């Protein structure tokens, strides 16, 4: 609350300032509105949306040196990102988290591409190439998008010939053998628009802060995107998009600083959609078909595993391949029933087929029996009907909206290699979710909103009937009596705008019930069971987004100079895991893997309208603190009193700098330095690769801990024509 009170006072101050600046005779305020599509499924003014939406637009992407979507979201304080390895991450938004291995079907945050399921929740698998913008809806949006909307939605919107006309070639090099290139071209010819983009990159093992090499952190990337649109009539349009993207031969150090394990992770997809208008605009139809192929290949090894409190011989090879195939359709007619009213009716259908296999070879002298893969084979079929009604009042200054979604599904547990005593079966599930809200454009400088919504996630076949052995030797069993996870959220928000500035603030509460988690089996070493946690997760917090034209602020507006400041951040002033209240050894009741606070602050200064325009950008990213029952093996009892001890990882900050200069018309040179002060830390891991050593090296397969990259220098050239 020490931080919440100043935040509220600051909001009051901004409101008072906005009132003064909105008086006649002063410059017109920055617009309150931006057109967004994710929160409602259709293009909507942001001031008419009841949910908090964060937008990472093309300008922010263009001034970023991010190599993956994980990097980009971290630079914009979108949520807690665990970043286990160059090719693996998980994200947490308002208490809802994606799976640590990026499994789409186990996530509580839904990742979309062009409004349809991406098929992966592992953002490190996906590159920034060919991304036009990203919209992040905070909180459940399950009326429009269905399952897995407990914490929020991340919608990755790709470039098209209409949004990215012309051609571009770019090349980047830098430390740690970085080599990166991309090319794109797009345009419109006689009603047909096209876009084609290709990208590829590679990097060697990076250095942690202080200069120590982090062996097994290298990676390779490549991707291809194509988009074609046909405007067959002013009222009828077809769009087709295909994309393949992935990270290959990527090091996976994991929680034991592993020198040996590597991954291939890739995602390919296709979608086709139709948009049409009829009855003089009184009816609209959107229809979409999509197909996704998502593959993870784990080429792992763990020569040492944990057996109780002692090390034991492990594997020289542990190969696990997981393939997920998804096909789905969306049908969304919209009708204008009367003036100011719009009714959206939808039907979704989806089938996903998951297949896995695994093969292990022990170290010399250790003969191993084969064990089941990490995920049981399953087929999931679901369909849903839903509606959302929107009514505008008082000259469209007030927007009321509310909707319901009924989802029916069935998960089929199917024959899985090496799974003992399996009984293939199917489990039905259904869920009724809702959303309701109101938005009021009170003036040209102020918009207010309030909303409530719910979300859910159905248990998977693995959670219902698992028996798998992890890389480190732990064993986990399923539970056929699991219930779906659910969430309920309420929020209030306000957007203020004045001459050259815009502030968005949201106050929220999200409650997650019946979380599916694992619990150690009493009296049995290294053995866990899936359970519904009887205690809820409760998170209350405040989120801020702020943009400021600094020259307007100091009254020095100029046609030759540009100076911007931006900030995004959140503070969870109340977060409680009520399930931990029943655990006698719990040393904290804070929610795990959620930042208490985080922020991204930056400023960009430069010249415009000259032959050699230039800009320099300085950015600070503040991360933490975070609470975590680490999977690392730490020194006991010197560092970790007991295995279930919840750590508080202290906050830290890193600084990035990027400079750009126009060499010639359409040709730009840029230089970037990330982690300027060479900080040796990590958003999640406790045992960083530095002294004093806190890792219990008996259980480690290589290094003494895992750190994020240290000081990273990159230089590149971009040509547009």
Give the model's confidence band at 526: pLDDT under 50 very low, under 70 low, under 90 confident, else very high.
confident
Integer angstrom CA distances of residue 92 from 73, 170, 507, 540, 684 = 11, 32, 17, 14, 12
- Coil, strand, or helix at residue 595? coil
The CATH number of 4-720, from 3.60.150.10, 1.20.120.450, 2.40.170.20, 3.40.50.300, is 2.40.170.20
Lowest mean pLDDT among 119-133, 269-283, 392-406, 636-650: 636-650
Which residues, in sequence order, are CB contacts of 189 under 8 Å at separation 6+?
Answer: none
Give Cβ neighbours of residue 482 (< 8 Å, ≥ 6 apart): 459, 463, 464, 516, 530, 531, 532
The model's pLDDT over 221-248, given as tens digits with 9 standing for 90+, comes to 999 999 999 999 889 999 999 999 999 9
Q: Is the pLDDT of residue 499 over 50?
A: yes
Cβ neighbours for 367, distance < 8 A, ≥ 6 positions apart = none
pLDDT at 17 over 60: no
Q: What is the pLDDT of residues 578-602, one digit of tens each?
A: 887 767 678 889 998 899 999 999 9
Per-chain mean pLDDT for the chain:
89
Query: ω into residue 513 within 30 of 0, thus cis?
Result: no
Helix then strand then coil, % of the chain, to nearest 5: 10, 55, 35
Cα gap 119→245, rounded to integer Å: 12
- Write the CA distances from 585 to 581, 589, 592, 645, integer angstroms: 9, 11, 15, 8
DSSP, collapsed to helix, strand or coil, labels residue 409 as strand
Which three-class secondary structure state does DSSP give residue 254?
helix
Tokens of 174: 């830098």
- Half-sphere exposure of residue 655: CA atoms within 13 angstroms, side-chain side: 7
Percent of the chain exceeding pLDDT 70 equals 94
Sheet strands (E) in 44-177? 44-45, 53-56, 80-81, 91-93, 96-97, 109-113, 116-117, 131-138, 152-158, 166-174
How many CB atoms within 10 Å of residue 547? 16
Q: Does pLDDT of 26 surpass 60? A: no
Q: How far apart are CA 129 and CA 67, in angstroms?
A: 9
Residue 450 has pLDDT above 90, yes or no: yes
Least confident of 553-557, 624-628, 640-644, 692-696: 640-644
What average pLDDT score do residues 467-494 get?
A: 88
- When pLDDT is averaged across residues 375-382 and rounded to a whole number, the result is 93
- Two tokens, residue 305: 């595993």
Q: What pLDDT band is residue 24 in, cutting at 50, 70 and 90?
A: very low
pLDDT score, position 22: 35
**Res 576 pLDDT > 50:** yes
What are the residue ranges spanned by the domains of the chain?
A: 4-720
pLDDT for the residue numbered 518: 84
Q: Which structure tokens are listed for 50? A: 């009841």
User: Tokens representing 407?
Assistant: 């989802």
Residue 719 pLDDT level (bands cut at 50, 70, 90)? very high
d(CA 122, CA 84): 11
Residue 32 pLDDT level (bands cut at 50, 70, 90): low
Q: Count Cβ atoms within 10 A of the Cβ of residue 551 and give its class: 0-12 exposed, 13-18 middle, 19 or more buried.
A: middle
Q: How far apart, in whole angstroms, are the C-alpha atoms of residue 577 and residue 536?
A: 6
- % of the chain beyond a pLDDT of 90: 64
Q: Residue 45, Cβ neighbours under 10 Å: how many?
A: 17
pLDDT at position 121 over 70: yes
C-alpha span between 194 and 215 (Å, rounded): 42
pLDDT bracket for residue 39 (50, 70, 90) = low
Q: pLDDT at position 18, please?
A: 38
- The residue-averaged pLDDT of 488-492 equals 95
HSE-CB at 63 with a 13 A cutoff on CA atoms is 25
Tokens of 671: 């230089």
Does pLDDT of 695 surpass 60?
Answer: yes
């Amino acid at each position: 609350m020490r931080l919440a009170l100043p935040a509220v006072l600051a909001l009051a101050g901004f409101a008072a300032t906005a009132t003064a600046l909105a008086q006649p005779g002063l410059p017109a305020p920055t617009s309150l509105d931006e057109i967004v599509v994710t929160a409602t499924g259709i293009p909507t003014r942001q001031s008419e949306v009841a949910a908090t939406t964060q937008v990472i637009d093309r300008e922010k992407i263009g001034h970023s040196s991010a190599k993956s979507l994980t990097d980009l979201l971290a630079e914009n304080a979108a949520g807690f990102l665990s970043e286990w390895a160059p090719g693996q991450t998980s994200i947490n938004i308002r208490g809802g988290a994606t799976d640590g291995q990026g499994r789409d079907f186990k996530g509580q945050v839904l990742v979309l591409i062009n409004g349809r399921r991406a098929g992966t929740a592992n953002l490190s698998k996906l590159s920034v190439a060919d991304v036009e913008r990203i919209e992040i809806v905070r909180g459940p949006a399950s009326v429009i998008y269905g399952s897995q909307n407990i914490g929020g939605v991340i919608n990755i919107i790709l470039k098209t010939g209409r949004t990215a006309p012309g051609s571009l070639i770019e090349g980047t090099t830098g430390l740690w053998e970085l080599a990166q290139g991309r090319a794109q071209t797009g345009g419109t010819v006689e009603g047909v628009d096209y876009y084609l983009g290709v990208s590829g990159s590679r990097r060697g093992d990076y250095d942690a802060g202080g200069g120590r090499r982090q062996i097994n952190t290298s990676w390779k990337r490549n991707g291809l995107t194509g988009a074609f649109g046909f405007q067959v009539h002013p009222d009828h349009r077809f769009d087709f998009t295909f994309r393949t993207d992935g990270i290959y031969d990527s090091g996976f150090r994991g929680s034991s600083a592993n020198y040996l394990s590597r991954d291939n992770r890739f995602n390919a997809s296709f979608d086709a959609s139709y948009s049409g208008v009829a009855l003089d605009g009184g009816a609209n139809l959107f229809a979409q078909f999509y197909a996704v192929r998502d593959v993870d290949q784990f080429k792992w090894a763990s020569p040492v595993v944990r057996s109780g409190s002692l090390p034991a011989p492990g594997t020289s090879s542990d190969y696990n391949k997981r393939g997920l195939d998804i096909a789905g359709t969306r049908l969304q007619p919209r009708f204008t029933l009367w003036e100011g009213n719009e009714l959206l009716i939808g039907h979704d259908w989806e089938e996903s087929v998951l297949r896995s296999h695994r093969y292990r070879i022990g170290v010399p002298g250790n003969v191993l029996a084969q064990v089941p893969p990490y995920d049981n084979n399953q087929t999931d079929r679901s369909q849903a009907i839903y509606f959302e009604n929107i009514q505008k009042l008082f000259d469209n200054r007030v927007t009321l909206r509310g909707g319901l979604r009924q989802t029916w599904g069935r998960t089929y547990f199917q024959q899985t290699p090496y799974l003992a005593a399996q009984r293939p079966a199917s489990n039905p599930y259904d869920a009724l979710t809702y959303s309701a809200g109101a938005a009021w454009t009170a003036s040209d400088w102020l918009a207010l909103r309030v909303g409530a919504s719910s979300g859910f996630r159905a248990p998977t076949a693995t959670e219902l009937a698992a028996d798998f052995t992890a890389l480190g030797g732990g064993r986990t069993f399923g539970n056929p009596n699991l219930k779906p996870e659910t969430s309920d959220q309420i929020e209030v928000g306000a957007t203020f705008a004045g001459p050259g500035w815009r502030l968005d603030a949201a106050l929220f509460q999200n409650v997650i019930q019946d979380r599916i988690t694992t619990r150690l089996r009493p009296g049995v070493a290294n053995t866990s069971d899936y359970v519904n946690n009887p205690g809820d997760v409760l998170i209350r917090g405040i989120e801020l987004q702020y943009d400021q034209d600094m020259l307007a602020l100091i009254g020095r507006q100029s046609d030759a100079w540009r100076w911007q400041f931006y900030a995004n951040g959140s503070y969870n002033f109340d977060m409680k895991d009520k399930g931990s209240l029943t655990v006698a050894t719990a040393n904290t009741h804070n929610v795990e893997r959620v930042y208490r606070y985080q922020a991204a602050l930056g400023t960009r200064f430069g010249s415009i309208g000259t032959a050699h325009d230039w800009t320099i950008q300085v950015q600070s990213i503040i991360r933490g603190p975070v609470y975590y029952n680490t999977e690392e093996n730490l020194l006991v009892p010197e560092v970790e009193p007991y295995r279930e001890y919840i750590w508080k990882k202290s906050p830290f900050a890193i600084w990035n700098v990027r400079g750009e200069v126009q060499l010639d018309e359409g040709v730009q040179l840029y230089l970037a330095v990330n982690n300027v002060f060479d900080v040796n830390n990590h958003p999640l891991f406790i045992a960083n690769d530095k002294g004093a050593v806190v890792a219990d090296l008996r259980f480690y397969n290589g290094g003494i801990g895992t750190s994020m990259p240290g000081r990273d220098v990159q230089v590149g050239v971009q040509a547009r024509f």
